[in-house]
Amino acid sequence: MALSRAAVLENSADLGIVFDTDVDRSGVVDREGNPINGDRLIALMSAIVLREHPGTTIVTDARASMALTRFIIDRGGQHCLYRVGYRNVIDKGVRLDKNGVETHLMMETSGHGALKENYFLDDGAYMVVKIIIEMVRMKLAGSDEGIGSLIKDLEEPLESVELRMNIISEPRHAKARAIDVIETFRSYVEEGRIEGWELDSCGDCWVTDGCLVDSNDDPAAVDAYMYRAKVSDEKLGQHGWIHLRQSIHNPNIAVNMQSMAPGGCLSMTKTLRDKFLVASGMDKILDITQIDNYMKTRLEK
């Protein structure tokens, strides 16, 4: 993204385009040099798709921001937060659409994405073509604002953090121990043991169940366990979320956090450590070095 940004600014280009090597992930840079990836790319594609298909459902992974949900809803769409993993996200969209819930866009924050009009294919090039067509359409309509203007009201999270906790176990036992940790986390939140934390949901599609329970005759297989909790307090209301996910490929657990409040991620990390990891004894089977180091670094600032 940095190289593309420099090229756009040096050449006064209208758009920079970024692909990964097999062109199933993509991102763009607007004419001002602003990188558009992650939540910003999903928001841009949502704005385009919702103009063409008002009211459609958009499926993303559960690491998408609260601001992205508001962005989609403000434009008349529905936001389905689903499980991490681009195939999970795309397959969820296929099932929803098959069951009568019109679903035209499925995107993971990693840059993977698919459109119903493109046969639900994981295709970064097709997404970029959609963006180029929209940019040309805007120019022909007399607009000189650039593609970035479509997401100018998307609020950015103030803080965003990802940490990892390695599982202290023989490799053959790591998966079972990871499931124990994730399910214990779910129990702690459900039982109200962590004040201000509540399992998150998006209407009929519950992230409380990690979307593990599908209302289909042929429910999807679970490749990794994960839950997301929304975080609130009396002063700020809901100001962030935390997502715990069993890694599919490695013996660790990923912790993703976002907050709209200064110091929110530090506060969530401290609560996670003291009220869950230590209180439940999970710190005995997890290496929480990254948790401790993050807290130490932030407290020293």
Q: How many CB atoms lie within 10 A of CB 23?
A: 13
Q: How many CB atoms lie within 10 A of CB 142?
A: 6
pLDDT of residue 127: 96
Say which residues have a Cβ less than 8 Å from residue 15's Cβ, sequence separation at least 6. Answer: 8, 28, 29, 30, 31, 131, 132, 135, 147
Task: Round the CA-based radius of gyration of the chain to a whole number and report it.
Answer: 20
Q: What is the pLDDT along the chain (301 residues), one digit of tens a residue?
A: 999 999 999 999 999 999 999 999 999 999 999 999 999 999 999 999 999 999 999 999 989 998 999 999 999 999 988 888 899 899 889 988 988 889 999 999 999 999 999 999 999 999 999 999 999 999 999 998 999 999 999 999 999 999 999 999 888 899 999 999 999 999 999 999 999 999 886 544 544 444 544 555 665 566 678 889 999 988 888 899 999 999 888 899 999 999 999 999 999 999 999 999 999 999 999 999 999 999 999 988 7
pLDDT of residue 212: 40
Looking at this protein, which amino acid is placed at residue 146?
A: G
Read off the tokens for 233: 């307090």
pLDDT of residue 234: 85
pLDDT of residue 216: 56
Q: Is residue 259 within 8 Å of residue 158, measured between CB atoms? A: yes
Q: How many CB atoms lie within 10 A of CB 294?
A: 20
pLDDT of residue 203: 46
pLDDT of residue 139: 94
- Could you give the CA distance from residue 87 to residue 93 in angstroms, rounded to a whole number? 10
**Which one-letter DSSP state was computed for residue 154?**
P
